[in-house]
């Protein structure tokens, strides 16, 4: 009941407030209101308990529009100024006007609600003693009772409404309405007898009363009752106004039921669930604030930062042209994280290498070169070539035959800053998290990494279970893969780098392999079209990793000779001495070899080139994509500063 009345009030209020002057037209439209109007004034006076049963079915619909209803109560209570100003004599034009306004203004349901709301008025009409117009009242009632809203009913609704507002008995009315609105209570029981008993309830009323009582029965399972549920459902539908509401009404019903239970738990759950999001946001906020925190060192760091921090956003822009990228926001955060890295470590050169996807978390990799002489010491792992213990230290008590097997000498890893360890790599899981330095890579790791294929989990200390067994955990495997990828896919346009003029020894012991290169100041750039069409315009600028696992050939013979001298002479030694002689020096393509020399993989070319855009070729860039390592890209825009970059996914090659 409440719903109906406030609804009507709201509608009235809105109508009056918003629609301004259309009343007059409305007035002409409806014809019935007059008799009802005077009745309406009296209707409101009595308690509305009598009509309650009748209005309950309408009430159902009305409660469906509870939201507007609630709003209605507010304005309704304050009673719109316009109706209040109107003398009682003028409510008739008002009422129909309002009503008619309402009818087109609202959806069918709302109008039905309104009309529902109207029925109590009719009930009131009934109750009021001065009803000579029981006829219109009756008709209205019956119409209302059938839940079919006719214009007349509506008219009546508004008519009485208006009148009631104008009445000084507004307050009483409201009070009654609230009483009626108490849908949770058992209407049948709470009916104040005074108003209701004025007119003996007809059969129809009783039927309605019973129907309503049934609808209000609470379910034993869920504690809801159909009355409330339907009203909530209709409220929701009216609020949201979805298309084809009738088709999705079952879903709406389900949602309402679900919502009903989750309300109380909301506060608790939300706190827990969103925590990780807040955490990471805090960390990333720290990234953004970082620049402001350091005052004194700002200048010095700026200097260095110029050299060491790359312009990640610029390269990201070019990569985006190629269709490769992490999204602007993410890239910016990575940029800031790199800045943080350069601020905390003495770094000469830094570059965003790429991102490796893992099962649980991903890795963001930065390639870094420390400043001269400021290498951080690395934890020494076992480097010494070991031999299997031949049982010298053991007493000869056990009679197991001694094995003369001498494990092949493990090849020492390359010094830092040379070969595969030329750069140091830092990884982090997400920008904002601390950067972790990856250990240097040993040749053995590279050799085995070539034979296995495993996913990364995202945690650096995960053991790698594989065959052949990988010496190390995930951080070593990651480092080995990074080394392989860098060696295989870092390319530059021909001529951008050239060998330095001065070199200490051109002919080294190993072979005339040049390790270093410099930027060529005279580089003029190659046309983008040329870069795309011919692969010989690109060269590798990272040393190829030999099958041995190093870039510079390490001859295991020499050392083993030294060791041989320390051992007792045995026959096997002599044999061993002969073996190393057969080891040939492994040779790989020298630095700065054009990539057209790369081997094909299973009949497909190892690189794919294309222009970033066919439509605007004059500003397009040349993009090179590796087919061996899917996810490695290089681009060049044909002018002087070119870029190479890698975005690596899943870190598996074809091998």
Partner 1 sequence: MDEESLLLSLELASGSGQGLSPDRRASLLTSLMLVKRDYRFDRVLFWGRILGLVADYYIAQGLSEDQLAPRKTLYRWRRRPGWLRPQDDTEEPGASEGQEGVGASLNCMEWSLLPPATEEMEMQTSVVKGRFMGDPSHAYEHTELQKVNEGEKVFEEEVVVQIKEETRLVSIIDQIDKAVAVIPRGALFKTPFGPIRVNRTFEGLSLSEAKKLSSYFHFREPVELKNKTLLEKADLDPSLDFMDSLEHDIPKGSWSIQMERGNTLVVLRSLLWPGLTFYHAPRTKNYGYIYVGTGEKNIDLPFML
Burial class of 315 by CB neighbour count within 10 A (0 to 12, 13 to 18, 19+)? buried
**Residue 402: how many CA atoms within 13 Å on its side-chain side?**
12
Q: Of 345 and 648, which has the nearer Cβ to partner 1?
A: 648
Which residues in 106-133 are b (16+ Cβ under 10 Å) and which e?
beebbbbbbbbbbbbbbbbbbbbeebeb
- Nearest distance from residue 23's CB to partner 1, in Å? 38
| Lookup result for tokens 């009404």 | 249
Beta bridge partners of 537: none
- Nearest distance from residue 272's CB to partner 1, in Å? 9
Backbone angles phi, psi at 104, to 5 degrees: -70, -25
- Pairing state between β 424-428 and 632-636: unpaired
Q: Of 242 and 590, which has the nearer Cβ to partner 1?
A: 242
- Nearest distance from residue 291's CB to partner 1, in Å? 22
- Nearest distance from residue 489's CB to partner 1, in Å? 14
Q: Which two tokens stand for residue 562?
A: 């030294």
CB 156 within 8 A of CB 120: no
For residue 614, whether the previous peptide bond is cis, meaning omega lies within 30 degrees of 0, is no
Which residues in 410-422 are b (16+ Cβ under 10 Å) and which e?
bbbbbebeebbbb
Backbone angles phi, psi at 604, to 5 degrees: -115, 145
- Nearest distance from residue 433's CB to partner 1, in Å? 12
How does DSSP assign 108-130, residue by residue? HHHHHHHHHHHHHHHHHHHHSTT
Q: Of 281 and 587, which has the nearer Cβ to partner 1?
A: 281
| Lookup result for tokens 């004059």 | 618
- Nearest distance from residue 344's CB to partner 1, in Å? 24
- Nearest distance from residue 610's CB to partner 1, in Å? 6
| Lookup result for tokens 């700026």 | 302
Q: Distance between CA atoms of 454 and 176, rounded to whole angstroms?
A: 75
CB 30 within 8 A of CB 151: yes
Distances (CA, A) of 637 to 331, 333, 498, 596, 610: 20, 25, 19, 20, 12
- Nearest distance from residue 452's CB to partner 1, in Å? 8
Q: Of 87 and 276, which has the nearer Cβ to partner 1?
A: 276
State the residues that interact with partner 1 by CB under 8 A: 242-243, 247-248, 250-252, 255, 273-281, 320-327, 330, 355, 357-362, 453-455, 529, 532-533, 602-605, 608, 610-617, 625, 627, 630-631, 647-650, 652
Q: Of 281 and 286, which has the nearer Cβ to partner 1?
A: 281
Secondary structure class of 608 (helix, strand, coil) = strand
Distances (CA, A) of 136 to 103, 108, 282, 631: 20, 23, 69, 81
Neighbours of 459 (CB within 10 A): 14
Distances (CA, A) of 456 to 120, 451, 476, 482: 71, 16, 11, 12
- Nearest distance from residue 251's CB to partner 1, in Å? 5
- Nearest distance from residue 439's CB to partner 1, in Å? 23
Backbone angles phi, psi at 424, to 5 degrees: -105, 140
Q: Of 122 and 538, which has the nearer Cβ to partner 1?
A: 538
The distance of Cα 238 from the centroid of its chain, to the nearest Å, equals 31
- Nearest distance from residue 29's CB to partner 1, in Å? 36
Q: Distance between CA atoms of 488 and 628, rounded to whole angstroms?
A: 9
Q: Of 488 and 588, which has the nearer Cβ to partner 1?
A: 488
**Residue 305: how many CA atoms within 13 Å on its side-chain side?**
18
Q: Of 125 and 595, which has the nearer Cβ to partner 1?
A: 595
Q: Of 199 and 248, which has the nearer Cβ to partner 1?
A: 248
Beta bridge partners of 540: 491
Q: Of 300 and 604, which has the nearer Cβ to partner 1?
A: 604
- Nearest distance from residue 255's CB to partner 1, in Å? 5
Q: Which two tokens stand for residue 93?
A: 């034009």
- Nearest distance from residue 650's CB to partner 1, in Å? 6
Q: Of 175 and 278, which has the nearer Cβ to partner 1?
A: 278
- Nearest distance from residue 503's CB to partner 1, in Å? 39
Q: Which two tokens stand for residue 42?
A: 């009296």
Q: Of 187 and 633, which has the nearer Cβ to partner 1?
A: 633
- Given CA atoms 146, 147, 149, 154 in this order, what sign does their dihedral have? positive
Q: Distance between CA atoms of 46 and 69, rounded to whole angstroms?
A: 22
| First CA to last CA distance, the chain | 76
Q: Of 338 and 546, which has the nearer Cβ to partner 1?
A: 338
- Nearest distance from residue 362's CB to partner 1, in Å? 7
Q: Of 260 and 371, which has the nearer Cβ to partner 1?
A: 260
Q: From 382, 383, 390, select the one nearest 407 (Cα to Cα).
A: 390
Q: Of 404 and 619, which has the nearer Cβ to partner 1?
A: 619
Q: Of 184 and 328, which has the nearer Cβ to partner 1?
A: 328
Q: Of 551 and 634, which has the nearer Cβ to partner 1?
A: 634
Q: Distance between CA atoms of 447 and 453, rounded to whole angstroms?
A: 12
- Nearest distance from residue 613's CB to partner 1, in Å? 5
- Given CA atoms 237, 238, 241, 245 in this order, what sign does their dihedral have? positive
Beta bridge partners of 518: 498
């Amino acid at each position: 009941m409440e719903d109906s009345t406030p609804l009507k009030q709201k509608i009235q209020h809105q109508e009056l407030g918003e629609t301004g002057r259309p009343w007059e037209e409305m007035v002409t439209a409806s014809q019935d209101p007059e008799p009802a109007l005077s009745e309406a004034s009296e209707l409101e006076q009595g308690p509305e308990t009598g009509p309650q049963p009748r209005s309950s079915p309408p009430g159902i619909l009305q409660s469906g529009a509870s939201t507007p209803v609630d709003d209605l109560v507010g304005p309704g209570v304050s009673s719109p100024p316009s109706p209040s100003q109107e003398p009682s004599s003028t409510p008739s034009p008002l009422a129909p006007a309002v009503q008619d306004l309402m009818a087109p203004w609202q959806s069918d349901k709302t109008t039905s609600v309104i009309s529902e709301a109207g029925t109590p008025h009719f009930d009131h009409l009934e109750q009021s003693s001065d009803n000579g117009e029981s006829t219109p009242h009756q008709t209205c009632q019956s119409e209302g009772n059938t839940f079919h809203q006719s214009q007349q009913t509506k008219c009546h609704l508004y008519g009485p409404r208006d009148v009631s507002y104008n009445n000084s008995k507004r307050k009483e009315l409201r009070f009654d309405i609230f009483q009626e609105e108490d849908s949770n209570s058992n209407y049948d029981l709470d009916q104040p007898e005074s108003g209701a008993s004025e007119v003996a309830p007809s059969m129809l009323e009783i039927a309605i009363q019973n129907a309503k009582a049934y609808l209000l029965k609470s379910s034993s399972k869920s504690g809801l009752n159909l009355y409330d549920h339907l009203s909530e459902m209709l409220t929701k539908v009216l609020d949201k106004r979805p298309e084809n509401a009738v088709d999705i009404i079952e879903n709406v019903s389900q949602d309402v039921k679900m919502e009903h239970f989750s309300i109380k738990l909301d506060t608790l759950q939300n706190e827990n669930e969103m925590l990780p999001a807040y955490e990471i946001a805090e960390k990333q906020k720290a990234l953004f604030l970082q620049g402001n925190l350091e005052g004194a060192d700002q200048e010095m760091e700026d200097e260095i930062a110029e050299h060491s921090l790359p312009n990640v956003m610029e390269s990201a822009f070019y990569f985006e042209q190629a269709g490769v990228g992490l999204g602007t926001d993410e890239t910016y955060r990575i940029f800031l994280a790199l800045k943080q890295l350069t601020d905390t470590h003495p770094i000469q050169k830094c570059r965003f290498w790429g991102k490796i996807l893992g099962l649980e978390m991903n890795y963001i990799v930065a390639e870094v070169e420390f400043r001269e002489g400021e290498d951080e010491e690395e934890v020494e792992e076992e480097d010494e070539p070991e031999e299997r213990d031949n049982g010298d230290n053991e007493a000869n008590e056990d009679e197991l035959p001694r094995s003369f097997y001498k494990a092949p000498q493990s090849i020492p890893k390359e010094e830092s800053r040379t070969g595969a360890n030329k750069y140091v790599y830092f990884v982090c899981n997400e920008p904002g998290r601390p950067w972790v330095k990856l250990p240097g890579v040993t040749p053995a790791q590279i050799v085995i990494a070539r034979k296995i294929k495993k996913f990364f989990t995202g945690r650096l200390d995960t053991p790698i279970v594989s065959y052949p067994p990988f010496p190390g955990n995930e951080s070593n495997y990651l480092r080995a893969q990074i080394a392989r990828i860098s060696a295989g896919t870092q390319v530059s346009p021909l001529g951008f780098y050239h060998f330095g003029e001065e070199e200490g020894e051109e002919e080294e012991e190993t072979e005339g392999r040049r390790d270093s290169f410099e930027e060529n100041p005279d580089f003029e750039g190659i046309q983008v079209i040329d870069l795309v069409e011919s692969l010989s315009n690109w060269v590798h600028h990272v040393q190829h990793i030999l099958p041995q696992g190093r870039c510079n050939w390490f001859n295991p013979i020499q050392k083993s000779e030294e060791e041989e001298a320390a051992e007792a002479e045995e026959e096997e030694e002599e044999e061993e001495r002969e073996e190393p002689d057969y080891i040939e020096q492994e040779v790989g393509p020298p630095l700065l070899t054009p990539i057209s020399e790369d081997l094909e993989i299973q009949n497909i070319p190892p690189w794919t080139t294309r222009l970033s855009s066919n439509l605007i070729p004059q500003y397009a860039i040349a993009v090179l994509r590796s087919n061996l390592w899917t996810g490695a890209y290089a681009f060049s825009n044909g002018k002087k500063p070119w870029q190479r970059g890698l975005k690596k996914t899943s870190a598996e090659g074809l091998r």
